[in-house]
Amino acid sequence: MPNGVNKGAVTAFWGKVKVDEVGAESLGRLLVVYPWTQRFFESFGDLSTAEAVFGNAKVKAHGKKVLDSFSEGLNHLDDLKGAFASLSELHCDKLHVDPENFKLLGNVLVVVLARHFGKEFTPELQAEFQKVVTGVANALAHRYH
Amino acid sequence: MVLAPADRAAVLALWRKLGTNVGIYTTEALERTFVAFPSSKAYFLHLNLSPGSAQVRAHGQKVADALTLAVNHLDDLPRTLSALRELHTHKLRVDPVFFKLLCHCQLVTLARHYPGDFSPNMHASLVKFLNHVISALAPSSG
């Protein structure tokens, strides 16, 4: 489990998160802010502008999928490597995603949570989520090691 | 030259909106960095780091002043920030990773306080701006 994550605080907060919205926004922002990540989504169509990305139904759908996996991972904080083993295989062995991109998406998610929750996203809560996103990124990158 | 016109305009507009409050947000960014990434406190052991510390606030204001200087000298960041680069690289020997953590926490802080202004394009412009600042402060960070 990520070092001393306050499971209670994380899951209580996560219950308030609109996973569809936050997932779509996080993936969308990743594609806009770090444009090289678009290379993994060439089949999604036009990603050339922020407007195109945020109007793209495939981006929304995939963002939801990504965050649903992340949500599921929160139920397995004791064994993230196990929980993400097949996704790690997919992303590393088949999609050849540089593990650095998992960290980027994790940090984008943190920024999106701050934007949605404002004051409630305290430094302490941010700290818990930084541990979680690092744990998830490491679990996804596990196949590289 | 360093930033495309649209990015430049976005950052300048945000900075105008922040006005004299930049220090409040850079201080919060520092506080968030200390809480989320405790190893970063290593650079500040000479300061009182308890929540609300006046010393952290004072350092936050220094960071704010440097960022505002950068915003107003986007065409000449390396020269504008050369003294700070000297200080942080050779005297303080700050690991460039720390600047990335602080910049991430700065984005978190701005998103938290200005959710309406923090559009995807603004987010992208800020990342580019902060990356240029980091390059000027710590050239070897690539």
The reply to whether residue A28 touches residue B127, judged by beta carbons under 8 angstroms, is no
Helix, strand or coil, per DSSP, at residue B142:
coil
pLDDT band at A144 (very low <50, low <70, confident <90, very high): confident
pLDDT for the residue numbered B1: 55
Average pLDDT of the residues of chain B:
94
Rounded to two decimals, the pTM is 0.96
What pLDDT shows up at residue B139? 78
Average pLDDT over residues B68-92: 94
Phi, psi of B119 (to 5 degrees): -70, 165
pLDDT above 70 for A145: no
The helix/strand/coil state of A87 is: helix
pLDDT tens-digit map of A1-16:
566 899 999 999 999 9
Choose among A23, A22, A49, A25: nearest CA to A35. Answer: A49
Percent of chain A with pLDDT over 70: 97
Give the mean model confidence (pLDDT) for residues B84-113.
95
Rounded average pLDDT over B22-31: 97
**Nearest residue in B to A128, CA atom:** B36
Could you say which residues from 20 to 49 on chain A have a Cβ atom under 8 Å away from some Cβ of chain B?
Answer: 28-29, 32-34
In the three-class reduction of DSSP (H, G, I as helix; E, B as strand; rest coil), residue A89 is classed as helix
User: How many Å lie between the alpha carbon of A72 and the closest alpha carbon of chain B?
Assistant: 23
Q: Which residue has the tokens 């003294």?
A: B83
Question: Which chain B residues touch A if contact means CB-CB below 8 Å?
Answer: 28, 31-32, 35-37, 104-105, 107-109, 111-113, 115, 118-121, 123-124, 127
Q: Specify burial of residue A43 (Cβ count, 10 A radius: 0-12, 13-18, 19+).
A: exposed
Do residue A130 and residue B123 have CB atoms under 8 angstroms apart?
Answer: no
> ipTM of this complex > 0.85?
yes
What contacts B58, CB < 8 A, 6 or more positions away? none
**Mean pLDDT throughout B28-46?**
96
**In B, which residues are within 8 Å of A28 by CB distance?**
120
Lowest mean pLDDT among A1-5, A55-59, A84-88, B80-84: A1-5
Rounded to whole angstroms, the Cα distance separating A128 from A6 reads: 7
The predicted pLDDT at position B2 comes to 76
Contact B21, B113 (CB under 8 A): no
